[in-house]
Amino acid sequence: MSTTHYRKLVRDKIPEVITAKGGRPVTRILPQDDYARVLRDKLREEADEVVGAQTYDALVAELADVLEVVCALQKVHGISDENLEAVRAGKFAERGGFEERVYLESVEE
């Protein structure tokens, strides 16, 4: 029997899925401070998968994963939906969004 090492945060039901397919997952529960740190790594991983998405359906699936990680980060840091939205809206009001597709090439000083 071979062993594949992942060493990453996975969704809660993944061990059940692995077991149902005949695998034997080895898991542990992270302490809160490690969990908060690893969630940031997971966000980077999921963002990379968004970049690599080749189809509409893959893009939607990967964006859903990013959103799930953002929700987990909100929860672990006590950030309410209202607070996050207020900060987002404030940044939008001050700096705008991305609808106009502005790409900054350079700045002459």
Convert the pLDDT of each residue in 11-41 to its tens digit: 999 999 999 999 999 999 999 999 999 999 9
Given a cut of 90, whether residue 1 has pLDDT beyond it is: no
Q: Are 62 and 53 in contact (CB under 8 A)?
A: yes
With bands split at pLDDT 50, 70 and 90, how would you rate the model's confidence at 9?
very high
Please give the single-letter amino acid code of residue 13. Answer: K
The residue to which tokens 């799930």 are assigned: 68
How far apart CA 103 and CA 31 sit, in angstroms, is 41
CA distances from 94 to 7, 65, 84, 97, 101 (A): 40, 28, 15, 9, 17
The residues spanned by each domain of the chain are 30-95
CB distance 8 to 45 below 8 Å: yes
